[in-house]
Amino acid sequence: MIRHDVRLMPPVCVKPYVKQKEQQALLPMHAVRQLIGSKKTQILNVIRGHFPEFGQVIGNRPVAAIRFGKASRAGGVF
């Protein structure tokens, strides 16, 4: 049987572990931001993977995909 020793911490040491309401309110926003970033990367990678079949190569950065989209709408790509 494992026994644990319980030790009380002084309140000065415990305070950094307690999150304020403002900090807790920011956590979902950061999680959503991270999810949006990862989904954007996944979508760009899928698009980049399919366009070489049509003879088009898109750069690795999101800016290159945006430029490619603008050029295709203007009629300069296909």
pLDDT in tens, 4-59: 888 888 887 777 666 788 888 899 999 999 999 999 989 988 988 988 888 888 88
Kindly state whether residue 20 falls inside one of the protein's structural domains.
no
Look at residue 31 in the predicted model and tell me its pLDDT: 94
At residue 78, does pLDDT exceed 60? no
Q: What is the pLDDT of residue 76?
A: 64
Overall number of domains in the chain: 1
Residue 13 falls within a domain, yes or no? Answer: no
pLDDT at 28: 92
H/E element holding 33?
Answer: helix 21-50
19 in any annotated domain: no
pTM: 0.56
Range of the domain at 43: 31-78
Tokens of 10: 């002084």
Sign of CA dihedral 16, 17, 18, 23: positive
In a domain, 37, yes or no: yes
